Amino acid sequence: MNALDEALGNFRRAETERLCTGLIAYLDNQDENLPQAELQKAIKMLRSKRQYEQMVQLADCCIRTGHTSYNVRRQYAQGLIEKRLFAAAAAVLHEVKRDAQLDASNEAQAEYKEATGLLGRLYKQLYVNTGQPGNPHFRQVLLAAISSYREIYDLDPAQNLWHGINIVALLIRAQADGIAFDNIPDADELSKQVLKDATASVAKDDKDIWAMATAMEACIALGDEERAAYWANSYVLAENADAFEIASTLRQLEQVWRLKVDGGFGSILITRLRAALLNKEGGKVTLSNAAQNVQIAGSNIYQERLERVFGADSYKTLKWYSDGLKRCTMVARIGRDATKGFGSGFLVEGEKLHASLAGKIVLLTNAHVVSNEPARNNKSLLPYECVVILEAVDRDMELFVESVVWSSDIETLDVSVLLFTDESHEKIMSIKDNITLAPVSKYLPACDSTQRVYIIGHPAGGTLQLSLQDNVLLAQKDPLLHYRTPTEGGSSGSPVFNDKWDLIGLHHAGDEEMPMLDNPNDTYEANEGIWIQSIIRKMKADLG
């Protein structure tokens, strides 16, 4: 278990997968029963880092090998919900509730509450996934979610805070969707009571992160921006707030409260939580001490600054950092399925590349990631093999590629421009308001040892990450850029940005002994990208 904890803590995903596979094989082939508490801990560790595939596989193995505690089964259901296997999750949760109801032990009663709350989470997710408030069936799903949360909240309001705040969120969501229910609490009064109880809970236990998140949501319901920002900051800076907790809260703000980064509560809360989630999942972002308190001055309450660790470099404004987070929405993971990436790519307005692509959103990546000629391009994917995920927009939405509209093989510019299928393009257009596409720069930064470039991609085929450290622009010589910005396998096809977050290039390679652009007989450690204007110029020459 220590090895698994270390692998998860250091974001070594391949090692995590290997350790889980070994543990599953051991459970399947040994008569010895491992302590159930240790197995429950292992499943929880996987959940904390949102490794849901391994979490479900391990929990499934535990159950089939006789480790059927309430906790194992409940966590199994939680993993199934995260993987959108709702019917299977509901069946497991109803079974846990039934068994726990007949058991007077403290463990059983605690798990009964957890299972009932998870059913509320399941029904809530089904409702927000539909976007069809007028459908009578989904009106009942919403009512089922509220009822599940109320069942537990009413038992002990001061203790069951997260159930209470979910009732508030769903009541306000129902009102916004034009749905009315009889015999329900008043959302405003319930918000005040939940906030009072959450504040008291944190006063007793300053590590009660769920109470902090609950207080933040209650402030949203009451329209109190200052206190919402305060609680958000307290929450993300708590040591025991890990990726699972922060992602759950972020999902609540985006999907139930429908907050956005373009104004109001969302401009600070969503940005703050996304930054924290990147850190907890291994993103290359460091928060300075200056970011550990939200400074409030009249209506201008968001004065925190975010520090980049770039040697002598100092601070960047929150707006700069927020602009970088918005660029995450244009970056895609490309793989053979939705769970593992092969490379990265990014969305571009077609007319920025060539007039014939006007009105299209296209995907730009390397030829060695996707092309029509895998044999010439390092065993690249074929277009029909690609599953594209926009993690920062909707990690559950799968997009598909129709064709390569133009490509330059790995020996020249190493670039492919991809067209989406009609259905996938319609999906992108339907969420276009949630995607920020970068301006295409006409110029390159000067190489004067002060210029920095930034990369956003999916290193090792994993979660989305920003590469912001050790990122000096070393050299430029049309069509190539050399920089020290860190990358890994899977980063191929990532966008390269200048200090204004304008698009300047397409990342494609790196080497510890890269021939220098100004002196090919000498080498240095460098990563290499293709200047975007070189790509545009070559497309124009080829396509007319």
pTM: predicted TM-score of the whole model, two decimal places: 0.56
Q: Evaluate the omega torsion of the peptide bond into residue 445 and state whether it is cis, within 30 degrees of 0.
A: no
Taking Cα atoms as reference points, which of 174, 177, 147, 175 lies closest to residue 163? 147
Q: Is 345 exposed, middle or buried (0-12, 13-18, 19+ CB in 10 A)?
A: buried
Helix (H, G, I), strand (E, B) or coil at 161: helix
pLDDT at 499: 87
Tokens, residue 458: 């999916």
Dist. CA 236–CA 269, nearest whole Å: 10
What is 454-543's CATH number? Answer: 2.40.10.10
Q: Quick check: 337 and 386 in contact, CB under 8 A?
A: no
262, 265, 271, 277 alpha-carbon torsion, rounded to 10°: -140
Paired sense of beta strands 415-420 and 361-365, if any = antiparallel
The residue with tokens 């509450």 is 113
Dist. CA 318–CA 305, nearest whole Å: 5
Dist. CA 529–CA 259, nearest whole Å: 35
Tokens, residue 525: 């450690």
Tokens, residue 4: 């698994």
Tokens, residue 46: 């996987």
Q: Quick check: 516 and 528 in contact, CB under 8 A?
A: no
pLDDT at 390: 93
Say if domain 328-432 classifies as CATH 2.40.10.10: yes
8-state DSSP, 460: G
pLDDT at 94: 96
Region for 438 from its dihedrals, namely left if φ exceeds 0, alpha if ψ lies in -120 to 50, beta otherwise: beta
SS (HEC) of 191-207:
HHHHHHHHHHHHHHCCC
> How many other C-beta atoms lie within 10 A of the C-beta of residue 430?
10
pLDDT at 282: 56
Strand partners, 472: 452
Q: Quick check: 149 and 170 in contact, CB under 8 A?
A: yes
SS (HEC) of 74-87:
HHHHHHHHHCCCHH
The residue with tokens 């949102």 is 50
All structural domains of the chain with their residue ranges:
178-307, 328-432, 454-543
**Distance from chain centroid for Cα 385:** 23
| CATH fold match for the domains 328-432 and 454-543 | yes
> How many other C-beta atoms lie within 10 A of the C-beta of residue 295?
12
Q: Say which amino acid occupies 443.
A: Y
Q: Is 178 exposed, middle or buried (0-12, 13-18, 19+ CB in 10 A)?
A: exposed
Dist. CA 11–CA 41, nearest whole Å: 18
Q: For 267-411, where are the E strands, in sequence order? A: 306-307, 315-316, 331-335, 343-349, 361-365, 387-390, 395-408
Going residue by residue through the chain, which has 544 residues, state the pLDDT in tens, using 9 for 90 and above.
788 888 887 767 788 889 999 999 989 887 667 788 999 999 999 998 889 999 999 999 999 999 999 999 999 999 999 999 999 999 999 999 999 999 999 999 999 999 999 999 999 999 988 766 667 788 889 999 999 999 999 999 999 999 999 999 999 999 998 888 888 889 999 999 999 999 999 999 988 999 999 999 999 999 998 889 889 988 988 888 888 889 899 999 999 999 987 767 787 888 888 878 877 765 544 333 333 333 333 333 333 333 333 333 445 677 788 888 889 999 999 998 887 788 999 999 999 999 999 999 999 999 999 999 888 888 899 999 999 999 888 888 999 999 999 999 888 899 999 999 999 999 999 999 889 999 999 888 777 667 888 999 888 777 888 877 667 888 888 899 998 766 665 588 999 999 889 999 999 888 878 888 888 888 888 889 999 999 999 999 998 8
